A and B are shown apart, each in its own frame.
Chain A
Amino acid sequence: MTLTDRINAAFRAVPTWLLYIVAPLPAAWWFYLGFTGGLGVEPIKALEHEVGLFALQLLIAGLAVTPLRRFAGINLIKHRRAIGVVAFFYVLLHLLIWLVLDMSLLWSQIAADLVKRWYIIIGMASFVLLIPLAVTSNNWSVRKLGPAWRKLHKLVYAACLLGGLHFVILSKGFQLEPMLYMAAVVGLVALRMVPKRSRMMARA
């Protein structure tokens, strides 16, 4: 049994429902820290940032599943849907923190931001693109939509690119961290374009 086989067997043994149980724990932890002073003296921004960053990390993890299988033989397909659904809920939580805690539900200012500030427009676009994907992340939708399901779910590439861009343009000055996230997203999307045939030729 190779190392890859062992990794795959280990991941296969993890039940899917476990991810949904574990998924809310980071959010609960950050809220707890926010209440108890563990997020510093401005907990709203800190919470917004932590949750948003984790959402982006989950989106990237979801994007990595297919290339991992294709180029490294590691098979996480079983857990891809759960990763995607959890990512969606973290994006939603990030949005709610912005609306309720950060903006104090000041709707006129929120509306102005939604048409004027590019990083907010882009972030919101990413969220909107993720809605149909979250809604159709179930066996019934996969059967019902057939081949259209695969097409629909290619929207995740656009949503991830917009999410990465959101992080890049909200950062002040020239900062490395958001660029690295953006590079990861671009790289993982680009891997989809590697033609299958040339890979076989390279191996031969």
Chain B
Amino acid sequence: MAGRWKNDLNWSEVTPKAAFMNRRQLIAGATALAAGGIAGPALAKLGAKPSEYSTDATPNTLEEISSYNNFYEFGTGKNDPAEYADALTIDPWTVKIDGMVDKPGDYSFDDIMSGVSLEERIYRFRCVEAWSMVVPWVGFELADLLNRVGVQPGAKYVAFETLYRPEEMWAQKRPILEWPYREGLRLDEAMNPLTILSTGLYDEPMPKQNGAPLRLVVPWKYGFKSIKSIVRISLVEEMPPTSWNMANAREYGFYSNVNPQVDHPRWSQASERQVGGGLFAKRIPTLMFNGYESEVAGMYADMDLSKFY
């Protein structure tokens, strides 16, 4: 948290990828033609600093991370978000911060980004469907934002909401879940330094299918807790309703910590398969709290995790 670099540029000043890609791809394309080789596209660097919280594991490729997504607002197929998320308008973007906070209000994305220093957090990511990835997120600690808006003493939980805009998110016209998508964290979970609001991947702005422009990442919980394209953050006293828990409370608890010992009624959580290993990728054992046990187990010390799953 300490020693953050202060940034006086606004998010809106980042050159849109499409703009510089066009120019560079022309140049790169010409060079490639001349050299008879293949030139990779240039990347828009966000300049995120490395973090001690990053894992040493090799990250999945950007293609893997951005073509295999659960973002049911764009369809239930894994490739649907990559196919349909283009329709989403992310500029302008406003996040309503309300509830038990000192400075409630509608914060523009630039407001939120001013005064944060971006870090690269390479985290393991474990889906409840028993697949996993290693993702180089770019983001900042949720605690930074919460401290900025001032959490009032009575607040015990943080509730999040995804954008509801069926004209751009076509599958919101289907009753797959009760829209908008909702998630929540206990306040201590939200303030944990591992919990970040992420705005990018691979030091580039977040692809829309991964929850642009702003999403939560909680690496010791199943992926569905890491809500995408957030438009509302509320500090509340009561445990907030969460989408998958509303759909099927027996299968999806509020906490949903990665836990190989507590069986999910639908999928065994004992093992997982990392995406990207091809047709013969083997399963590997799932780690308690997805490998973040030393950082987070203390928060659940006196809880029966088979009851509070």
Query: Using a CB–CB distance below 8 Å, which chain A residues touch chain B?
Result: 31, 34-35, 40-47, 101-104, 106, 109, 112-113, 116-119, 170-176
Contacts and interface: CB of A to CB of B under 8 A. Distances in A.
B279 A101 contact: yes
Contacts of A103: 283
Contacts of A43: 278-279
A173 B177 contact: yes
Which bracket fits the contact residues of B? 20 to 34
Contacts of A119: 266
B247 interface: yes
B67 A112 contact: no
A40 B79 contact: yes
Contact of A174 (B67, B79, B175, B278): B175
Contacts of B263: 112, 116
Nearest to B270: A109
A91 B245 CA distance: 33
A119 B267 CA distance: 10
B76 interface: yes
Given A104-B282, A106-B283, A112 B268 contact: yes
Interface string B24-44: 000000000000000000000
Contacts of B247: 173-174
B177 A113 contact: no
Contact of B76 (A31, A35, A41, A172): A172
Nearest to A31: B279
Nearest to B68: A41
Contacts of B76: 171-173, 175
A117 B131 CA distance: 18
Most buried by A among B64, B67, B176: B176
Closest 4 CB pairs of A and B: A173-B176, A41-B64, A104-B283, A104-B282
Most B Cβ at <10 Å: residue of A41, A102, A176? A41
Nearest to B247: A173
Interface of B: 63-64, 67-68, 72, 76, 78-79, 131, 174-177, 247, 263, 265-268, 270-271, 273, 275-276, 278-283
Given A40-B79, A42-B131, 15 more contacts: A42-B276, A44-B273, A44-B279, A101-B279, A103-B283, A104-B282, A109-B270, A109-B271, A112-B268, A112-B270, A173-B176, A173-B177, A174-B176, A174-B177, A175-B76
A42 B79 CA distance: 11
A117 B269 CA distance: 12
Contact of B265 (A47, A117, A172): A117
B275 A106 contact: no
A35 B281 CA distance: 12
Nearest to B174: A176
Question: A34, A42, A101: which has the most chain B beta carbons within 10 Å?
Answer: A42
Contact of A34 (B63, B79, B270, B279): B279
Contacts of A112: 263, 268, 270
A112 B267 CA distance: 10
B266 A117 contact: yes
B175 to A, nearest CB: 5
B131 A47 contact: no
Contacts of B131: 42, 45
Contacts of B273: 42, 44, 102, 104
A102 to B, nearest CB: 8
A119 B266 CA distance: 8
A104 B273 CA distance: 10
